[in-house]
Amino acid sequence: MEEGIRVNREVKVAIIVMEGTNNEEEAYQSFKHSEATPEIIHLKKLEDRKKKLSSYDIVCFPGGFSAGDYVRAGAVMAARIKSNLMRDLEEFVESGRPVIGSCNGFQTLVELGLVPNVDGDGRLEAALAPNMSNRFEARTVYLKMNRGNSLFLNEFKEGEVIKLPIAHSEGRFITRDKEVLGKIIKNRMNVVSYVDGSGKESGYPWNPNGSEHNIAGITNKNGNVLGLMPHPERVFYKYTESDWTRENNGTGMGNRFFTSAVQFVREKF
């Protein structure tokens, strides 16, 4: 009955917070209702070794404004992690277990060098610069799921167009050079793209921040780290979507990101 043991296996999720993160509750509820066991952990507890990343199956960096977005969004959180937790986090990533960061969590993953990391050396290859509109963009956007090998997108169809909310002022994805962008595209790491209602890559307002190649979300080469500017955790249920009164059947668009990852852990670990 090995199969049964795996189905009932507890999937532990570490949702890492610090001063200024604010989407941890939505992430907690999303994982909890995906039959996982989430835990909100302050970064200090990991720094003090009162908690260990290796005890968990999934790591989540939630959205928000860590350290008040001072310096650059995600930069302070990333610098703290780099100073004494980086090896633990790298080992976690190398083990193949899932890591997700949405919005501020994505900014942190980019500042850590965990995505895109096309050359595999952890050097910074990208940045999330201020939106081209110079405005805080907060609305629902259309997104095309390019899937690639992202374990978070297993339950999406290739090319499927979905809607998720965004809320950010620093979301313009910029790569270090054309070579990095070329490798991202070649390796199909640009797994989530901003599109218009018909599924075509278009300019503003469909691309809300001016990201290169309309990139909204990106995975690492191995497919186990996902960073994206939109917020799947905010639309786990249909009734938290902006147009839920028009189409009030089915589950929320964000649901499958979480159930895909939880299912992946049950099958592989």
Partner 1 sequence: MVKLRITVTLKKTVEDSEGDSVKKALKLLGYEGVKEVRAGKVYFITLAKGSKKTGKEFCEKLLANPVINECVVDD
Task: Please identify every residue annotated as catalytic.
Answer: 103, 231, 233
CB neighbours (10 Å) of residue 44?
A: 13
Identity of residue 200 = K
Residue 19 Cβ vs partner 1, minimum distance, rounded to whole Å: 16
List the strands of the sheet with 37-42, edge to edge: 37-42, 12-17, 58-61, 99-102, 225-228, 215-219, 192-195, 137-145, 161-168
Task: Give the per-residue contact string, 15-54, with partner 1 (x = CB under 8 A; - = no).
Answer: ----------------------------------------
Nearer to partner 1, 18 or 253 (CB): 18
* Total residues in contact with partner 1, by rule CB under 8 A: 21
Nearer to partner 1, 161 or 174 (CB): 174
Residue 75 Cβ vs partner 1, minimum distance, rounded to whole Å: 6
Considering the rule CB under 8 A, would residue 120 count as an interface residue with partner 1? no
Task: Give the per-residue contact string, 131-160, with partner 1 (x = CB under 8 A; - = no).
Answer: xxxx--------------------------
Report how far residue 146's alpha carbon sits from residue 160's, in angstroms, rounded to the nearest whole number: 8
Residue 138 Cβ vs partner 1, minimum distance, rounded to whole Å: 17
Segment (H or E) for 167: strand 161-168
The answer to whether the bond into 62 is cis (omega within 30° of 0) is no
Nearer to partner 1, 106 or 236 (CB): 106
| Two structure tokens written together for 75 | 């930069």
Report how far residue 244's alpha carbon sits from residue 177's, in angstroms, rounded to the nearest whole number: 41
Selected from 18, 46, 58, 126, the binder of partner 1 by CB under 8 A is 126
